[in-house]
Amino acid sequence: MTPLRQRMLEDLQLRNLSENTQEAYVRAVAQLAKFYNLSPERLTREQVRAYLVHLVKDRHVSPSLFNQVRCGLQFFYRVTLERDWILDGIVCAKTGKKLPTVLSPSEVAQFLGAIRRPKYRALFTTIYAAGLRVSEVVVLRITDIDSRRMAIRVRQGKGKKDRYVMLSPKLLALLREYWKIARPTDWLFPGRDGRRPMDRRNVGIACKRIARRAGLKRNVTPHTLRHSFATHLLEAGTDIRTIQALLGHRSLRTTALYTYVSLEKVVATPSPLDLLEAVASGGPREKGQAAP
């Protein structure tokens, strides 16, 4: 590891940024250096700008990825190198508001029913039953499952916050069956060596494989199960602030997104057309009447 990368990592750690953010920011700087085959501290403002233009025009990266790279480079030049002016005038890309993919309850059952390995069945069921992020489920420890209070402790979730979520009796029974087979000793879902938690990327790969086996045509990711958890709770009448606490959202505005994807509430809302009695009771056109 170069001294420059080590210094950037220390700057990131001093600010207590998450490991995922640290990895993304360091990767952004490393890819910039690789593009020019030069140390990033030797690059000019125009070279950094040209690289960001390349990401948009040639590689067609998404606005969210562009913004992540920009933030990583901004951190490196402003904090680590103390060159505030390098990214002056380069603003974040506008990101469109897309509704998340949500599975119906029958599709969730279809997905879970297609899982063959007990470990993955327990893991994906936990994601859906408790609304966890994949980064949260892979670091669960056996001691986080509190069967006495029927709760799961989520340690240091997004924003470095602990929280508790419900422990479904059905999930508890499934986890007990899984434990009898796998006998994990520390991490609930350990990696291959047993000493470290499972790799998040492996969870994503397995998710796509299971979705194909289940015959689901939509793009299903582990986060799709979290979205489905929140939407199904909302459709069942759960208070939105309770859902906010369960998901670990800082802002209620983030949780309110699920009010837009609750199909049950959408189809249950009558159209104003159905409220117009005159139109609803109108008969067929008389002979000779002009067509609209």
Six token digits for residue 129: 């039953």
Six token digits for residue 47: 């070279």
- Reference 35, options 20, 56, 50, 57; nearest CA is 50
What Å distances lie between residue 257 and 41, 62, 103, 238, CA to CA?
Answer: 41, 21, 15, 15
Which residues are catalytic, by number? 133, 158, 223, 226, 249, 258
Six token digits for residue 93: 């890309």
